Structure 1
């Protein structure tokens, strides 16, 4: 079973948070596209090289994630739309990705366009991008994955509105069957969801049901995402939660902290989701994101995952 962890490029000093005896894949986040189908220089590039070297020495694959929600607080969705407006631009952008992979030694690409949509037709550009990129990567023995939202509303029904006000159905339907056939697997962001708790066990079950049973995706091509952070009226990483709540923070899913309430996944729920992944024969579990874990072995979410596996 794969244990896939995203690692934030803006946290170059926290590589020691990555448990090399737990994760099997790391997604370095993010490469940033430009409107003219180019790429910005990779943030903390030399640290990325160190990370790739360390991971490869420990038989861990490292992909480069393209995109993310925003760059310097500006949403990247309009940039992706302009960068893929023509097949010529798609060829340029995918070639730039291959050049970055060759330069750094990445093992593949994780696509994180948030989000192509059916309503405005951008799903067609996205589909062309994924097919073009997938063919180029697979020809070199490299992988292509994509980050997708859970796909269900607060009651587990397909569609609905997410916590950011986005039309969930509009986004998940943009992941066409051709795209799902092209990718090696999908990373399901079963967090930031629409329910009372943004990353509840029930939301994970609903998300899995959508991708596996509604969309008919092979279970081995699905990884279920878990958060290493809390959100709500307080946003805080898991490491700070256990520092401020040393006795019980690692055992709960919600707590009062920093003058607000943070919803997150403590060890019991992380392991419950991991067991769900095992029971459903999924490809693995996915983490956003590794630098937010604690160095305390007794409370580390990664260590809990390792021991359960």
Structure 2
């Protein structure tokens, strides 16, 4: 059984980000356990253009196979940094005039159409309340909305958790204005990186993050997709690397490497987050698919898929 809306009678989404810099790990993509793949990243430039897509052959390969299996693929624009330089300033300069907004918006749509993507995910990290950031972000998103509608494409965005690991509000989340939230098909809530150690992505942090967007920002729960990490902090090790050092790591949330405690989400926590999302949100998002293990019985994505199939 595949997790597909047309087969399951639900719109529950399982959306996995796939990094363009890992062309050799596409065998870790379990199409039967996904509804959407987010190909990351298209990189903006300060003049309102996009750099050529990284590993376009990989993108085309993923899109071809995904479409065969009823999975949609989105083009992700942005990310935290490019060549170790944060992209926030690039986004600001790329959208500081109406002409640049139009140029960047058209470049994004053109790239999506060129490769056959089914939509666009904007990962501007992060629009802010201060200065003109909020206004420029909103202008870009409104322009994109008009263009995606013309081309029958999806428009989504990666968003902050909304609260800290301690449950405190993050003011810059309001830079995602009600206007922007209203035009998006859904948001991908980055309910991870709350900090190092246990603050990284606990169950409580995940629930509070999703509830912020649903309860405080009044988004329909179907439009809130809860993000889960496939990596540990503080080491940033992939889940698959954790298992290579601890064969029982799939059943835990912490790996002790000498004096360092590395926190991540093992299968039990991933299952509990998925169960919560099935009842209270619109889906599960993964950063990122190449970090999963190829061992089927220890795979985090397989655990998500099995949980969804049992509950739908």
Q: In which range does the TM-score fall when normalised by the shorter chain?
A: over 0.9
Q: Secondary structure at the match of 2:96?
A: coil
Equivalent residue number for residue 69 of structure 1: 80
Equivalent residue number for residue 210 of structure 2: 208
Equivalent residue number for residue 46 of structure 1: 57
What do the CA deviations read for 1:182-232 (whole angstroms, capped 9, x no partner)?
Answer: 110000000001484210001011111211001111000000000000012
Question: Counterparts in 2 of 1:230-269, with a 5 A limit?
Answer: 230-232=232-234, 234-246=235-247, 248-257=248-257, 260-269=260-269
Provide the C-alpha distance between the structure 2 equivalents of 1:218 and 1:52, rounded to a whole number of angstroms: 29
Provide the C-alpha distance between the structure 1 equivalents of 2:111 and 2:211, rounded to a whole number of angstroms: 36
- Asked if 1:221 corresponds to 2:220, the answer is no
Equivalent residue number for residue 297 of structure 2: 298
Q: Secondary structure at the match of 2:213?
A: helix
Work out whether residues 157 and 206 of structure 1, in 8 Å CA contact, stay in contact via their aligned partners in 2. no
**4+ long deviations beyond 6 Å:** none
Q: Secondary structure at the match of 2:64?
A: helix
Work out whether residues 242 and 249 of structure 1, in 8 Å CA contact, stay in contact via their aligned partners in 2. yes
Equivalent residue number for residue 68 of structure 2: 57
What do the CA deviations read for 1:84-136 (whole angstroms, capped 9, x no partner)?
Answer: 00111111001111111111000010000001111122110000000100111
Equivalent residue number for residue 182 of structure 1: 183
Provide the C-alpha distance between the structure 2 equivalents of 1:194 and 1:258, rounded to a whole number of angstroms: 20
Work out whether residues 6 and 290 of structure 1, in 8 Å CA contact, stay in contact via their aligned partners in 2. yes
What do the CA deviations read for 1:155-206 (whole angstroms, capped 9, x no partner)?
Answer: 32322xxxxxxxxx12x11000000011100000000014842100010111
Structure 2 residue runs of 5 or longer lacking an equivalent are 1-11
TM, length-normalised to structure 2:
0.93
Provide the C-alpha distance between the structure 2 equivalents of 1:39 and 1:228, rounded to a whole number of angstroms: 28
TM, length-normalised to structure 1:
0.93
RMSD across aligned positions (CA): 1.2
Work out whether residues 165 and 199 of structure 2, in 8 Å CA contact, stay in contact via their aligned partners in 1. no
Work out whether residues 165 and 200 of structure 2, in 8 Å CA contact, stay in contact via their aligned partners in 1. no
Deviation at 1:149, TM superposition (A): 1.0
Q: How many residue pairs are counted as aligned between the two chains?
A: 296
Structure 1 residue runs of 5 or longer lacking an equivalent are 160-168
Provide the C-alpha distance between the structure 2 equivalents of 1:43 and 1:257, rounded to a whole number of angstroms: 34
Equivalent residue number for residue 165 of structure 1: none
Q: Secondary structure at the match of 2:140?
A: helix
Provide the C-alpha distance between the structure 2 equivalents of 1:192 and 1:60, rounded to a whole number of angstroms: 28
Deviation at 1:259, TM superposition (A): 6.8
